[in-house]
Amino acid sequence: LSLYQLDDPRLMQEADDFIRQSTDPHERAQANLLKAESLFKQKKYAEAGPIYARLGETDLTDALKTKALYKLGWCQAQTADYAGAIRTYTQYIEKNPGSPTLPSAITQRGLAYQQNKEYDAALKDFDLIIDTHEKAPERELALQQKALVLGQQNDYKGMTATFTKLLEAYPKTSAGGQANFWIGWAA
């Protein structure tokens, strides 16, 4: 843990040495989690993802497995494995219906659908955030992305209405320039 907190480059070797020597499955799983977290922190998603995937089959606590599942989806999305990210986020959403990170998982799945050109599914996720998670910070992003998807589908009226809703709900949004551009373009 100290090596992790210090971002010490020796962490990976020390964790691997520990895993080779330890006979306790729980301790081995915790060491693998530290490795995955370290790689994730370094944005080495392609390396962290497979470790997170294996952690679901260990005796880690449910809370740690849940965290690993969410981060696995993130790793998959960052490495352009959108179909994998969709499956993982769907699994996460089904297992964690009351989680405070649920809006984030739904939004991330919507973004993965969008990248995978599954626009109808993306719109469903964005609408779910917009309509049922009005206080979630992800709602702003969901409005922006919904508008962009509608634009990709040549639904310029819907795009304009959604960007207008974004500007009304979030007058200081960082997407304001983009929203105004596309509203003007559509007009």
CB contact at 8 A, 94 and 102: no
Q: Give the model's pLDDT for residue 98.
A: 85
Distance of alpha carbon 125 from alpha carbon 64, whole angstroms: 25
pTM of the model: 0.88
What SS3 string covers 85-142? Answer: HHHHHHHHHHHCCCCCCHHHHHHHHHHHHHHCCCHHHHHHHHHHHHHHCCCCCHHHHH
Amino acid at 129: I
Distance of alpha carbon 27 from alpha carbon 37, whole angstroms: 15
pLDDT over threshold 90, residue 53: yes
Distance of alpha carbon 99 from alpha carbon 66, whole angstroms: 10
**CA 100 vs CA 85, 105, 138: distances in Å:** 19, 10, 12
Average pLDDT over residues 51-63: 89
CB contact at 8 A, 166 and 181: no
**Per-residue confidence at 63, pLDDT binned at 50, 70, 90?**
confident
